[in-house]
Amino acid sequence: MIKLEITVLPKCTKSIELSQSLDSIKPDIEQLCTSVILTKEDKMFLIVINVDSFQEFQTVLYSKEVSILSGAISTLGEKSEVIVYGIGKKKGSSDLQKTRLFYSRNELSNQLNKYKK
């Protein structure tokens, strides 16, 4: 199981807009993965995307839906943190776009090869 965990602190006046954006894109992301959990704790939003395989992770990470999610977070979020569990060492980043760049298709292939050995 691979888990993509995204924590977002919205800009002070953008909490409602961020909540609406996350609620709107969630069903589309659910079509691509095992599960999506969206919660709000205090002022922070937590998005957890679970996938069963590297291929599913790759599909989700480079999907149009996650591009939209990344844009919403960049536009409406003040601060974010992204953590990926289940591929080698736990990898953290300050934003979703950096995570997408880190797990380029070549890097993902390298991780897959290591996992199969």
3-state secondary structure of 7: strand
The predicted structure's pLDDT at residue 67: 92
pLDDT class of 47 with cuts at 50, 70, 90:
very high
Weakest-pLDDT range from 5-9, 40-44, 96-100: 96-100
CATH classification of the domain holding 82:
3.30.70.100
Task: Please say if the pLDDT value at position 116 is more than 70.
Answer: no
The predicted structure's pLDDT at residue 109: 65
Alpha-carbon distances of 97 from 17, 37, 48, 51, 83, rounded to whole Å = 20, 20, 16, 19, 12
Quote the number of domains for the chain.
1
**Residue 56 lies in domain:** 2-116
